[in-house]
Amino acid sequence: MEAPGRIWFGYIAAVGIAVIGLITLDPLAFGLAVAVLVATVLGEWYRGRQIALAAAAQDADLPELVSRWARGWAYARGFPRPATLPGGVRVEVGQPGRQVEWVATDDADTLAGLVDTARATPEAWLSVVAESPEGVRPWFVEAGLVTDDGEEALMSIDLADQASRELPEGYRAEVERDGGVITVTVRSGEAAAADGTIAVIGTDAVADRIRTDPDHRRRGLGGAVMTLLVAAAREAGAGHGLLVASAMGEPLYADLGWRAEARLVTARSPAPHTSVESQHG
C-alpha cells in the first residue's frame, strides 16, 4: 500500500476505534484511537517533509548538484571530505596518477584559475560539469591539459520514481552496510557477478561503481543491483539520487528513470603513462 493509502487507513482506523469506544464505553479503546491518530498525523508530517526535501533537491542549481554529488562520491570511495571552493570542490583522491581532483562547473571565472592550477599540479585531474562539453575542451587544450573525446553524464532522480528490476533466477544478492555506505553484491554460486555501492548523506544517495562481470552481462543484473541499492538508501532516509554515468552505463540508468542534468568531461595535468578514463561512475 502506498503512503497516502496508509495515511487514510490510519484516520479511518482511529475513527472506527473511537466509535467502538463510544458504544462500549471502553477507555482503552479511546486511548488506542488517540494513539493511532497521533501516529497517523506524525506519519503524514514526515512524508510531507520528505517530499519537500526531495523537491528542493530537484530544484537545486548545477553548482549545488555538483557539490552534493562530489561529497557522496568521495564518501562512497573513502576519500576525505571534499573541500568547497568557489565554483566547485577539491577532492584528495590519493591514487597514483590522480592525487587530487577538482570538480567544478564551466563558469568562466572558475575555469580560468582551475586549468592553470591543474596544469601546475603533478598528478592532478580536473572534471568540469557543463550543459555543453564542447565549450570546455578549448580551455583544456589552451592550458596544455591532457584529455580525450569521452564524456560522462551527471544524472539525478527522485528515488521513489526509479523503476524496479527483479533479480534473475540463479542469482542471489548480499546487502552490506558500513555507516551510510551500502554495498550490494550479486552472486552466481560463490562468484561475484555484479556489484555496486550507494552512499547516503542526509537525503542524498550517490550511486557509484555499478559493475557487471562480462560473463554475466545482458541479464538485467545492473538494474537489479540499482533496485536493491535504492531500496536500501530509501530505508536509510534518502529521497534524491545522484550519479555520474559512463557512456556505457547511461542507457541503463535512463531506462530506470534517471535523467541527465549535464555532461562531465575530464582532463589531467601532463604526465607520462597516464590515461584519462571513466572513473566516476
pLDDT tens profile 98-155 = 999 999 999 988 899 999 999 999 999 999 999 888 899 999 999 999 998 899 999 9
Reported as a pLDDT band with limits 50, 70 and 90, residue 12 is confident
Is it the case that residue 273 has pLDDT exceeding 50?
no
Give the whole-angstrom CA distance, residue 268 versus residue 98: 8
> What are the phi and psi torsion angles at 256 (to 5°)?
-85, -5
Q: For residue 132, give the 3-state DSSP assignment.
A: coil
Pick the range with the lowest mean pLDDT from 28-37, 64-73, 206-215: 28-37
Return the CATH fold of 157-262. Aminopeptidase (3.40.630)
Q: Mean per-residue pLDDT for 250-277?
A: 85
* pTM of the predicted model as reported, rounded to 2 decimal places: 0.77
Reported as a pLDDT band with limits 50, 70 and 90, residue 58 is very low
CB burial of 16-42 (b: ≥16 within 10 Å; e: otherwise) equals ebbeebeeeeeeebbebbeebbeebee
Q: Which three cell numbers stand for residue 2?
A: 502506498
Q: Locate the domains of the chain by residue range.
A: 3-51, 157-262
Q: What is the pLDDT of residue 5?
A: 45
